[in-house]
Structure formats: C-alpha cells, structure tokens
Amino acid sequence: MAIVMDKKIMVCAFTALIIVTAVSVYSQDKKKSEKTDILLTDIAGNITSYKSKTITLRLRLKYLDRIFEKITFYDSKNHDIVFEISSKQIKKRIARDMLNLHEGMGYFVTFTVQKVGSAGEIIAELQGFKPVILDYMP
C-alpha cells in the first residue's frame, strides 16, 4: 500500500513540475514577444518617440565587415540596420558577443536610437547582442 501511495505522490509531483515549467516558458515567450514586436521601419517612422531610448529587438545577423568595422542586422521584413563598431568603447563592450557570430542566426540586439539618416535608415549606437538560442537553453 505504501509503494502505491509513493508512486501516486511521485506522479502528482512530476505532473505539477511539468505544468509549472510550461507556464514559465509560456510567460517568458510572451514577455520576449512583447518587447520585440517592433520593426525597424516603425522606429524610423516614429523617431520622435524612440529618440534617445534603448531598445532590444530580435534581429538576424546579416554581415560582419571586419575591414570597415561595421555589423549589419536585419528584421523579419528584411530591413537592415548597420552599426559602427570601430570605437574602443564599443569593441570592449561587445568583445564577448563577437566570439561566436553566425550569419543568419537570431540575436537580441540592444541599441540606443539616435536619429534617422537622410536615406531613412536608423542611426543608433550598439549596446550589445545575445543569441536568441541562449534563452531557450536550460
């Protein structure tokens, strides 16, 4: 009788653990989607409300130019944003992030919006980026 009760308790505990984990993952995904639903064209079109704000978007790496020291990301509508990474402060800040770059991989990119250029592109300062895959790993 005691063995049967122990099995029931174990099954209940395991089921509760699965439910808590599922709810936690769902709420984390919801929080991520809330902060990353903005497109680059939305920011450029409404620059007055985004100017001088630090934003985190889910973008993909397009290209790293080591000669001219620029890094390009793109959003889900294939709009690009280019960051200069030539200053010593930025190089120091993103040194760890630069170790494992892969074109096409998703990143949470954090940047501070400065202004919109004459061609309609966003001019911003890169704060850092983190692979999206790290949020899904235990």
Helix (H, G, I), strand (E, B) or coil at 13: helix
pLDDT single digits (tens) 51-92: 999 999 999 999 999 999 999 999 999 999 999 999 999 999
User: From residue 88, how far is each of 2, 69, 84, 91 by CA, in Å?
Assistant: 67, 11, 11, 5
Per-residue pLDDT at 124 exceeds 90: yes
Q: What is the model's pLDDT at position 85? A: 92
| 70 and 91 Cβ atoms separated by less than 8 Å | no
Q: What is the model's pLDDT at position 117? A: 85
Query: How many residues are recorded in the chain?
Result: 138
